[in-house]
Structure 1
């Protein structure tokens, strides 16, 4: 029988108030490699990497506040102060770095519209994985425009995000994209997360 995990994220559970000791998050796993990605610039923040870094520093992105309502469910609250440093219109995708396997993978797109976690073959190779590590499968992925792409196989790897370790299945495809990995709804739902730019 599976045990249910309890998380105290976003709740005030100080030992003095409720006599409950908050759970300590496990430390992030060590990574042996960092997988970077170099691509062209953005229409919003400039055409070079240094311009993008400068725009990112100037934006001063702030984190959202998560509170607890009367029904003990977390509430996600945005107010006008959250928008003061965001350039409108906001069109950026949610791109993150994430420990996957024993590597820190950069340039990962978090995509609510993807029904699968997708890893590029070039990323798979840079991680030092061999073809024998993947399960050969002939599944077809269908894009929004109806274009189909056959996957080379699947692999299950551990991911770590803010204290949560998850084993996630990735479909491996051989295409050239501006991202190393696309994390889709399976990961988002397993993480019980609400992605926001």
Structure 2
């Protein structure tokens, strides 16, 4: 038969106090929607500091696994083909077309005081966005994004940091995309013969 021995309480010492640890919780509420134009279905577009430059029109896309850099940002950062490393996989664009990347490049991306190294895939495709940051960036930063609240939140020391969204920039990007879309064929006409 085994007997469990429990520690004996010292009655001469002061009572022990429980250590309280306060943890910040990343959450969103209706208050986070203040300042947005309702109703909306806008993309989450933020400004980030990439390679030392403030870059507007960066889409934060939690649905994507690939960080993308478009030609306009590639040129503005004065990057050269020799700066790229090989990237052998093809990608499928949002319009269903296969895109062959030019290569990949690792760049520092700064949000507030946090700097994360991001492997961008450089593609030759037209986009109204300068870049897309995706799940790898969000996970490395420890961030949570909400397209409903148009915000990205992450812990920075003892406080919660929020990335400023630009709803007006998101709408400008959407309009630019719509204006450059090819005209779809009408479904009213049906080919056939009798």
The TM tier, using the shorter chain, reads 0.5 to 0.7
Question: Which residue of structure 1 lines up, in the alignment, with residue 164 of structure 2?
Answer: none
Q: Return closer, same or farther for 1:138/1:189 CA change in 2, 3 Å cut-off.
A: same
* Change in CA separation of 1:129 and 1:75 when aligned onto 2, cut-off 3 Å: closer
Match of 2:157 in 1: none
- TM-score normalised per structure 2: 0.59
Structure 1 residues without counterparts, runs of 5 or longer? 1-69
Aligned partner of 1:105 in structure 2 is 55
1:96 aligned to which of 28, 36, 46: 46
Distance 1:148 1:130, change over 3 A: same
TM-score, normalization by structure 1: 0.58
CA contact (8 A) 2:87 2:121 kept: no
| 1:156-194: CA deviation from partner (whole Å, max 9, x where unpaired) | 011111221111100000011010001111111111111
Give 1:12-161 correspondences, 5 Å limit: 72=23, 74-79=25-30, 81-83=31-33, 85-143=35-93, 146-161=96-111
* Residue pair 1:122, 1:174 contacting (<8 A) in 2 also: no
Tell me, in whole angstroms, the C-alpha distance in 2 between the residues paired with 1:165 and 1:84. 28
Q: Which runs of 5+ in 2 are unaligned?
A: 1-20, 151-194
RMSD of equivalent CA atoms: 2.1
> Is 1:173 the equivalent of 2:123?
yes
Aligned residues: 127
- Cα distance between partner residues in 2 of 1:139 and 1:78: 39
Mapped to 1, the partners of 2:26 and 2:59 lie a distance apart of: 25
Higher relative contact order (CA 8 A, sep 6+): 2
Task: Compare CA radii of gyration and give the structure with the larger one.
Answer: 2
Displacement of 1:82 after TM fit? 4.3
